[in-house]
Amino acid sequence: MPNLKSIKRKISSIKNTRQITKAMKMVAGSKLKRNQSAMNEFKAYASAYDDVIKNISDNTVLYSHPFYVKTIGGNTGIIIISTDRGLCGSFNINLFKLFFDELKTAGIDSSQAKLYILGKKGFDFFKKRNYDVVFNRSFSESGGPLNLSALLSDIILSDFREGKIGTVYIISNRYVSTLHQRAYAEKILPFESRTAGENKNLGGYLVEPVGYEDEILDKIFKDYIHTKIYYRILESFAGEQASRMNAMDNATRNAGKIINKLTVSYNKARQAAVTLEILDIINGMNAIK
pLDDT band at 1 (very low <50, low <70, confident <90, very high): low
pLDDT > 60? residue 196: no
Q: Does a structural domain hold residue 264?
A: no
- For the chain, the domain total comes to 1
Q: Does a structural domain hold residue 9?
A: no
pLDDT > 70? residue 204: no
Residues pairing with 117 in the sheet:
80, 136
Cα separation, 169 vs 87, in Å, equals 26
Q: Does a structural domain hold residue 13?
A: no
Q: Does a structural domain hold residue 65?
A: yes
Helix axes 4-57, 213-288, angle to 10 degrees: 170
pLDDT > 70? residue 59: no
Q: Does a structural domain hold residue 255?
A: no
Residues pairing with 133 in the sheet:
115
pLDDT > 70? residue 211: no
For residues 64-95, b (16+ Cβ closer than 10 Å) or e, as one string?
Answer: ebebbeeeeeebbbbbbbbbbeeebbebbebb
pLDDT > 50? residue 279: yes
Q: What CATH number has the domain bearing residue 194?
A: 3.40.1380.10
Cα separation, 125 vs 111, in Å, equals 16
Q: Does a structural domain hold residue 212?
A: yes
Q: Which domain holds residue 123?
A: 20-248
Give the predicted TM-score (pTM) of the model.
Answer: 0.87
In this prediction, residue 156 carries a pLDDT of 95
Q: Does a structural domain hold residue 227?
A: yes
- If one compares 2 and 147, the residue with the highest pLDDT of the two is 147
Q: Does a structural domain hold residue 4?
A: no
